[in-house]
Amino acid sequence: MSRSISILGATGSVGTSTLDLIRRDAKDWRVVALTANCNVAELAALAKEFRAEIAVVADESCLNDLRAALDGSGIEAAGGKRALCEAAARPVDITVAAIVGCAGLGPVMAAIEQGGTIALANKEALVSAGEVMTAAVAKHGAMLLPVDSEHNAIFQCLEGGRIEDVRWITLTASGGPLRTVEDLSAVTPEQAVAHPNWDMGAKISVDSATMFNKGLELIEAHHLFPVGLDRIRIVVHPQSVIHSMVEYRDGSTLAQLGPSDMRVPIASCLAWPQRMDTPCEPLDLPAIGELGFFQPDEQRFPATRLAREAAEAGGAAPAVLNAANEVAVAAFLDRKIPFSRISLLVERVLTEGNLPDAPRSLDEVLMVDDASRKRATEMLELA
């Protein structure tokens, strides 16, 4: 019996990895919706290959091109934010939520409100709207399965265990491509996106270089695995072999190991609670030889400290942090600010002393996000 699936962000790294797995067992899947921002050619090709029911571009200005590309295929074409949410709301067995940034908030919430299973690769959704989103999951009986390799590792290590028996959750971090670079002020976008272990998009690659990715993951873990912030720690592990660990009160530590390939955690979600084959090469531990572990350097990379402080403050602070970081990363990639100013800008927006009240709905989260982006942009222009 085939299972139905929608993929939000089908042309990104997580989306294409998901479709690669589906392609290998196409008879087992029925693709309902595929979405992209404005990558019309690739989206149309994928929609035709997988016989999707609907293809959606978030950028409505690309809709006419999408309609032309799908002409005669029988595949419905739609565009704009509303169409994105309507596609996400179509009932399916599993929705892969892989839209980067706060742009994915509305579609993720639409999928949650259907009460289905959501494989969540959009960490910003839980960072910015953690309380709102977890409340919606409980209300609608939805199931969140984490796609991020670290959170998926924790999820696997918790199977068969009790959350109240957890002593520590340890998020591992590669340290990114700049861990040993001395002069961070001279780092170029090309250096920042050249991750040594993972093939990812530009934004998440820069986040890995600044360590904001790990800070956002700490906040996400706080919402997914309610053990308390004081029991979630970060360890730099350059080899990216151990994807995270859970230590129990009896002293046992369970770790999930695997290759640096997103198809592994994606497959875990697609097949849950069972397993499925992947084309990934098994680990060759003798060839790897040694595994190293280091404390994060929060002097040079303050992002994890800022994220923990935002999580401890609660309310709107995580949403403000995320919005400011998205503005700062975009400015860096556009060569408007040096790498070293990304964290400085986020800290200025966070600490200027007029944080908004805690958002109580998705609309309020989006208002906080919009206001924080405007403030971060103002600070960029004033500098």
pLDDT at position 377 over 90: yes
Mean pLDDT of 16-27: 95
Residue 15 confidence (pLDDT) above 80: yes
Q: What is the mean pLDDT of residues 270-276?
A: 95
pLDDT digits (tens, 9 = 90+) for 201-227: 788 889 999 999 999 999 999 999 999
Bin 10: left if φ > 0, else alpha if -120 < ψ < 50, else beta: alpha
Cβ-in-10-Å burial (0-12, 13-18, 19+) of 74 comes to exposed
Q: pLDDT of 139-164, one tens digit each?
A: 999 999 999 999 999 999 999 889 99
Average pLDDT over residues 299-323: 94
Look at domain 151-382 and name its CATH class.
mainly alpha
| Cα separation values, 146 from 78, 98, 118, 262, 343, Å | 28, 11, 8, 12, 26
Query: Would you say 73 is a known binding-site residue?
Result: no
- pTM (whole model) above 0.85: yes
**17 annotated ligand-binding residue:** no
Helix, strand or coil, per DSSP, at residue 313: helix
Q: Parallel, antiparallel, or unpaired for β 242-248 and 232-236?
A: unpaired
Q: 214: annotated binding-site residue?
A: yes
Q: Lowest-pLDDT range, 21-25, 129-133, 182-186?
A: 182-186
Give the mean model confidence (pLDDT) for residues 356-372.
90
Alpha-carbon gap, residue 14 to 11, rounded angstroms: 8
Task: Round to whole Å and give the CA distance between 356 and 368.
Answer: 7
Q: Is 13 annotated as a binding residue?
A: yes
On whether 208 is known to bind a ligand per the annotation, the reply is yes
Asked if the model's pLDDT at residue 58 lies above 80, the reply is yes
pLDDT at 49: 98
11 assigned binding-site residue: yes
Q: How many CB atoms neighbour CB 297 within 10 A? A: 13
Residue ranges covered by each domain of the chain = 3-146, 151-382
pLDDT at 89: 96
pLDDT-based confidence at residue 123 (cuts at 50, 70, 90)? confident
pLDDT at res. 281: 92
Q: Is 27 annotated as a binding residue?
A: no
What per-residue confidence (pLDDT) applies to 237? Answer: 96
pLDDT tens-place string over residues 94-118: 999 999 878 889 999 999 999 999 9
Position 1 scores a pLDDT of: 65
The mean pLDDT of 67-77, rounded to a whole number, is 97
Percent of the chain residues topping a pLDDT of 90: 84
- Determine if residue 106 is labeled as part of a ligand binding site: no
Predicted pLDDT of residue 383: 56
pLDDT confidence band for 357 (50 / 70 / 90): confident
Annotated binding residue 148: yes
What CA–CA distance (Å, rounded) separates 258 from 281? 9
> Which tokens in the block code for residue 18?
């998901």
CB-based contact 304:288 (threshold 8 Å): no
Region 43-60: what's the mean pLDDT? 98
Question: Is 6 known to sit in a ligand binding site?
Answer: no
> What fold, for 3-146?
Rossmann fold (3.40.50)
Confidence band, pLDDT 50/70/90 cuts, at residue 312:
very high
Distance CA 303, CA 326 (A): 13
Q: What is the mean pLDDT of the chain?
A: 93
pLDDT confidence bin for 243, thresholds 50/70/90: very high
> Which two structure tokens, joined as six digits, stand for 137?
């999951």
Helix (H) or strand (E) holding 242: strand 242-248
Q: Considering only CA atoms, which of 164, 276, 182, 277 is closest in space to residue 225?
A: 164
Does residue 252 have a known ligand-binding role?
Answer: no
Whether 217 has a binding-site annotation, put simply, is: yes
- Judge whether 281 is annotated as a binding position: no
Nearest CA-CA partner of 342 in 214, 217, 219, 210 = 210
| Token pair in block for residue 203 | 């934004």
Rounded to a whole number, what is the largest CA-CA distance in the chain? Answer: 62
Q: Is 160 annotated as a binding residue?
A: no
Phi, psi angles (nearest 5°) of residue 10: -70, -20
